[in-house]
A and B are shown apart, each in its own frame.
Chain A
Amino acid sequence: MNRPASDSSRVAATTGAAAVAEHPHQPFAVRFPGFARRLPWLVLAILALFPLLAPTFGLEYYVGFVRRLLIVAIAASSLNFILGYGGMAALGHAGFIGVGAYTVVALVEAGFSSAWLAWGGALVVAGLSAALIGAVSLRTRGVYFIMITLAFAQMLYYLAVSLRTYGGDDGYGLYTPLEMGVWLDGVHPDVFYWVVLVIAALVFACFSRVAHSRYGHALRGIRDNETRMVALGYPVYRLKLAGFIAAGAVAGLAGGLLASHNAFVSPAMMHWTQSALLLVMVMLGGLGRRWGAPLGVALWLVLEETLKMHTDYWHWPLGVLLLLAVFHAPQGLAALSERREGGR
């Protein structure tokens, strides 16, 4: 999950205390490199134990909340990969989430009940959709790319609205839970939570690994200076398309998981406002930063959940808190605690 520590972080590890004294404003990961390396594992352990501990503290409701948070974080991570590392400002990412969700619906409607088949299908179909959409969209740049991805997502939205078989505008209820197999179903009521947690951990690990591979360096190079990358011999279009397909496929997987989580699918989940919301979450967390997407999603959803409990007008305080976040962490939350790694 973590890439090997760089020379600088090893040096920092040996001189951590001195560094704190000399540079009190250095990033958290530089001041406490050992703890920073272990923190993801600690968070993973806490998340893994959460369903077991939640009943003790009367937090059973929040198991479902954290599960939803993890699923949205999967989708946000895929957007962070193409936007933060590849500079592709896609405003239609929710379209792929919807494609994944409707693939699950289509498979269920066709009589399939295997969760693995449904989620795998969601991943593949969304990946294929991303290949088609990306093949056209990536021939444009800047604001035109934003507009064309938005246009495709809206086409998918209206396609879903027109699908009467799958409920049209009213949506489609998945009343029978998908089967994960005899060795998982029935083990524990919250087994789906752990499945989502494992998938999320794998997705973060893969994106993190790829972002710091040579392909990831190439993507960041494309984001910074596409012309120069061409001059260096990189097939820029193909590299961007590969990233776009991977991100679309993972968003589709998140859509499939979200369908299972909600036991309901509707066109609303692929409306352009959902794409915009994902963008805001990623930017809030930190574009092009390893933990940017999950942090942004966590902040947004936790604030939303907390404020909803106190007021019906929760958008107001949420807006104010977000303004504060923008002013005090313009590079995103991850920039406050994470050593700069390829971010802006």
Chain B
Amino acid sequence: MNTPLLSSRGLEAGYGASQVLFGLDFDIRPGEVVALMGRNGMGKSTTIKTLVGGLRPRRGEILFDGQPIHAARADHIARLGVAIVPEGRQCFPNLSVREHLVAFADRRNGAAEPWTLDRLYALFPRLAERADHMGNQLSGGEQQMLAIARALSTNPRLLILDEATEGLAPVIRDEIWRCLALLKAQGQTTLVVDKYVEKLLLLADRNLILERGRIVWQGSSAELDVQRELWSRYLGV
């Protein structure tokens, strides 16, 4: 198996007196799509926050392409090639769609085929139609597309999506899943957090289940598909 792009070893993190993560060990290999699952409050968002430098781990280490990044600043981690599509989209209200996509498109991160404005518009034609609209003049679905396109414009080596389909109409959700499948086909390494287990199984190569800050199960989508007792026990499905 090839070298992991991202490795977490004994990762522990928390807020103040409360510890949230208890020794997470997992790898994400290049080209792989990994789904991080678990019920609300199990530590998914804290894991992501820790990976992208938003929260300093208490113990353990995170290696990105062999480099330790657990003590690095968030902007440094982003420049190494980790991009996040945050929960709640967080588009900039005073930047137009086009400005969102050109302002951040300066890093190639060794991408053979970097994301250009044209490629992003081809992936999300709706954004091309809304190119001159400001970030706060878009529908929720369009904002989500913009958040994904903004992350892609940095040519990330690892794309992290935190609840990318939350609160969207079914037709828009399908559009997002279609795009994620397309990105997977293009070899985009992705860590995805979402509550739609069936969709995640279709997309992900491997799945991690978090329960009270610990990884209680990890395996392929085929394995998870047949172990339905895990769904009810850990995912509330």
Contacts and interface: CB of A to CB of B under 8 A. Distances in A.
A287 to B, nearest CB: 11
Given A6-B132, A217-B103, A230 B75 contact: yes
A344 B75 contact: no
B94 A231 contact: no
B164 to A, nearest CB: 15
A236 B90 CA distance: 17
Given A221-B92, A343-B94, A232 B154 contact: yes
A228 B134 CA distance: 17
B11 interface: no
A224 B136 CA distance: 11
A165 interface: no
Contact of B75 (A6, A217, A236, A343): A236
Interface in B107-136: 107, 131-132, 134-135
Contacts of A214: 102-103, 106
Contacts of B54: 227, 231
A231 B74 contact: yes
Contacts of B53: 231
Nearest to B74: A230
Given A7-B131, A221-B103, A232 B83 contact: yes
Contacts of A7: 131-132
Contacts of A6: 132
Nearest to B79: A233
B99 A217 contact: yes
Contact of B78 (A8, A223, A233): A233
Q: Considering residues A8, A218, A227, A233, which has the most beta carbons from chain B within 10 angstroms of its beta carbon? A: A233
B136 to A, nearest CB: 9
A235 interface: yes
A139 to B, nearest CB: 14
A60 B130 CA distance: 51
Interface residues of B, number: 30
A288 interface: yes
A234 B53 CA distance: 13
A7 B83 CA distance: 30
B167 interface: no
A214 B117 CA distance: 14
Nearest to B76: A233
B93 interface: yes
Contacts of A225: 90, 92
A342 B94 contact: yes
Contacts of B84: 231
B102 A217 contact: yes
Given A228-B86, A232-B83, A233-B79, A223 B94 contact: yes
B181 interface: no
Nearest to A224: B92
Contacts of B134: 340
A224 B74 contact: no
Closest 8 CB pairs of A and B: A233-B78, A217-B103, A233-B79, A224-B92, A230-B74, A8-B132, A217-B99, A228-B90
Interface of A: 6-8, 214, 217-218, 220-221, 223-225, 227-228, 230-236, 288, 340, 342-344
12 contacts: A7-B131, A8-B132, A214-B106, A217-B103, A228-B92, A231-B52, A231-B86, A232-B78, A233-B77, A235-B75, A340-B134, A342-B95
Given A231-B54, A231-B86, A232-B104, 7 more contacts: A227-B54, A228-B92, A231-B78, A231-B84, A233-B76, A233-B77, A342-B95
